[in-house]
Chains A and B, each alone.
Chain A
Amino acid sequence: MSEKPKHTLNPNNWVGAHSDYLFNYTITRVDNSELAKDIVQETFFSGLNAQHNFRGQASERTWLISILKRKIIDHYRKINSAKGKAEIRVNFYEDGDKKGTWLEERVPKMWDNEAEKNIENDELKNALDGCINNLPEKYRVVFLMKNVQHYETQEICNELGITASNLWVIIHRARHQLRKCLEDNWFAK
């Protein structure tokens, strides 16, 4: 039985000691610096209000991060609910005999052979960045967490409060939109 020193909270030092860390943590998950700043601030405020719940078993930072995680999930839930519906571009017939087959105008076009071979091109990077920025936020966040941060599927699900099948639907739609965007702006030109 080891006697662990109990941790304490020192709100006067929170900003100095933790704000950069929390900000950096947040920005990879919300992809917007103003918003990340607000979320960090809200985290500190919630922390102040919840000080009596701190039992000193975890470090101050771990405790603040657990509050921050709730905030990120709340934010993601907000953008993942109501408003996103209209942004989804349909690629397949939704009912009738042809249900699940390609809509004529969404069928993948032939890509330029040379362009296909030349993917190192710097301008292609600009086109890709542009296409990613055009994704709805909820798709962009998941896509970047998966493709850039290389988080495990389960980790993303935990961090954003979604199920694995949600995640794959989001990735599916994001990649459809990206493929089409790169086709229009680069490969089929």
Chain B
Amino acid sequence: MSNKFFINCDEATAICNKNQYKEASFLEKLKLGIHIFICKKCRQYSKQNSILTEVCSKHLHKCEDQHKLTEMEKGQLQTEVVKRIK
């Protein structure tokens, strides 16, 4: 019974990572909370992990520009495709 709620650091950090995307279940969050309460290293990890999330959302942005092929690349592609049309 007790093992159900006590997890190791590997499992705890895995839940912590999932939780950064708000996709950890209630039970998972409970286990994580218990673990973090008793484990200083994972408490540290968890805090830094939130900072990592914050850094990513500050600095990583979707590039709105469309990626395009150059005219030359299209020309080559066109040649290759036409070659194969029978």
Hey, which bits of chain A sit against chain B, CB under 8 A? 11-12, 14-16, 19-20, 23-24, 27, 33, 36-37, 40-41, 44-45, 48, 91-92, 99-102, 107-108, 110-111, 116, 119-120, 124-125, 128, 144, 146-150, 153, 168-169, 171-172, 175-176, 178-179, 182-183, 187
Kindly state the separation between the CA atoms of A100 and B84 in the bound complex, as whole angstroms.
55
Decide if the interface of chain A is mainly helix, strand, loop or mixed: helix
Hey, which bits of chain B sit against chain A, CB under 8 A? 7-11, 13-14, 17-18, 20-21, 23, 41, 44-45, 48-49, 51-52, 54-62, 66-69, 73-74, 77-78, 80-82, 84-85
4 A-B pairs with least C-beta separation: A100-B8, A100-B10, A125-B59, A92-B10
Chain B residues near A37: list those with CB within 8 A: 69, 73, 77
Decide if the interface of chain B is mainly helix, strand, loop or mixed: helix
Q: Is A15 touching B74 in the complex (CB atoms < 8 A)?
A: yes
Q: Is B60 touching A48 in the complex (CB atoms < 8 A)?
A: no
**Nearest CB in chain A to that of B12: its residue:** A100
Kindly state the separation between the CA atoms of A179 and B59 in the bound complex, as whole angstroms.
15
Chain B residues near A27: list those with CB within 8 A: 67
Kindly state the separation between the CA atoms of A16 and B75 in the bound complex, as whole angstroms.
9
Q: Is A153 touching B23 in the complex (CB atoms < 8 A)?
A: yes
Chain B residues near A24: list those with CB within 8 A: 66-68
Chain A residues near B62: list those with CB within 8 A: 148-150
Q: List 5 A-B contacts (CB under 8 A).
A: A108-B44, A110-B44, A111-B48, A128-B56, A179-B45
**Nearest CB in chain A to that of B44: its residue:** A108
**Nearest CB in chain B to that of A128: its residue:** B59
A59 CB, min distance to chain B CBs, angstroms: 18
Kindly state the separation between the CA atoms of A12 and B78 in the bound complex, as whole angstroms.
8
Task: Determine which of A36, A124, A175 lies in contact with B17 in the assembled complex, contact meaning CB atoms within 8 Å.
Answer: A175
Task: Determine which of B23, B49, B56, B69 lies in contact with A23 in the assembled complex, contact meaning CB atoms within 8 Å.
Answer: B69
Kindly state the separation between the CA atoms of A24 and B63 in the bound complex, as whole angstroms.
11
